[in-house]
Amino acid sequence: MNRSMPRLLLAVSLLFSPLGLQGALAAPFDTSTAYRSMQNHQSKNDLPYKTQAIEAYFLRKNPGVSKTNAAQYARLVEKWSSHYALDPFLVASILVKESTVKVQAVSKGNYGLMQINWKANGPWIVKTFPIRSTKELMEPSNNIRMGAHILSANIRKSQGDVDRGLDRYRGRSLASYRNTVHDNYTEITKLFRKLRPAA
């Protein structure tokens, strides 16, 4: 029997599948050991180490951000993640992917740390929150809150599927986006494990 046959059949099946190879490899959070392991770290004792890990990762990804600001953004990520029942590492990972921790980031109508699209979201934001302009949206607390709010709603619409929720947050399905967010998540998890004392 030809040992390469199973690989060939897999390649052919992926080629002709509706999603193709990209779609087949595009659900990193669905199989993530890092994501699953962090679900076991929900105690108040874990909280300071989570915040420190996020702050450290922000400083690593953007050495130009001050330690004071990195700490502020990490605390805001923790605050709004808790408010919306989200994993703070997931929110932080999106923030890094979207803006590289640049508070004044603006790109193609997307604003701030979480790159909120004002054209798409501005009308309901103005009706629902005390945010009236892109200037107010750029404020770190407002921006991270809106990002967490949108992410939470999108994960709910996806029946709890984080990968599909990320697609909705991004605005379209893009494997490279999900994979990069997951890579960030894994790195923050590693920092958390280094910072947190062994039980």
Domain ranges in the chain are 19-195
Sheet holding 106-107, edge to edge: 106-107, 110-111, 116-117
What tens-digit pLDDT sequence spans the chain (199 residues)?
444 434 333 333 333 334 444 444 469 999 999 999 998 888 889 999 999 999 999 999 999 999 999 999 999 999 999 999 999 999 999 999 999 999 999 999 999 999 999 999 999 999 999 999 999 999 999 999 999 999 999 999 999 999 999 999 999 999 999 999 999 999 999 999 999 987 6
DSSP E strands, the chain: 106-107, 110-111, 116-117
What is 19-195's CATH topology?
Lysozyme (1.10.530)
End-to-end CA distance of the chain: 51
- Cα–Cα distance for residue pair 192/56, rounded to 1 Å: 9
Q: Are 160 and 23 in contact (CB under 8 A)?
A: no
Element (H, E) at 89: helix 88-99
SS3 category, 32: coil
Element (H, E) at 70: helix 67-83
